[in-house]
Amino acid sequence: MDTSKRILPEHEEEFPKLFPSGYGKASEEDEFYNCFAFAADEKNTEVWWTPVHLGNGFHWPEGLDRKTDIDTFVKLYKIEGGFEPCENNSIALEDGIEKVALYVDDQNDVSHAARQLEDGSWASKLGDWEDIEHSKLEELSSDINKPAYGKVVKILCRPRPQKQT
Domain membership of residue 37 (yes or no) is yes
Domain membership of residue 1 (yes or no) is no
Expressed in angstroms, the distance from the first to the final Cα of the chain is 22
Domain membership of residue 134 (yes or no) is yes
In this prediction the pTM is 0.93
Taking only the tens place, the pLDDT of each residue in 53-102 is 988 889 999 999 999 999 999 999 999 999 999 999 999 999 999 999 99
Domain membership of residue 28 (yes or no) is yes
Domain membership of residue 4 (yes or no) is no
Q: What whole-number distance in Å separates Cα of residue 137 and Cα of residue 56?
A: 31
Q: Which residues constitute the domain of residue 106?
A: 9-159
137-149 in b/e burial notation, b at 16+ Cβ within 10 A? bebbbbeeeeebb
Domain membership of residue 20 (yes or no) is yes
Domain membership of residue 3 (yes or no) is no
Taking only the tens place, the pLDDT of each residue in 109-153 is 999 999 999 999 999 999 999 999 999 999 998 766 666 888 999
Domain membership of residue 54 (yes or no) is yes
Contact 98, 160 (CB under 8 A): yes
Number of domains in the chain: 1
Q: Strands, DSSP E only, in the chain?
A: 23-25, 48-49, 58-59, 84-85, 97-104, 110-116, 122-125, 131-134, 151-159
Q: What whole-number distance in Å separates Cα of residue 27 and Cα of residue 68?
A: 27
HEC sequence for 20-37: HHCEEECCCCCCCCCHHH
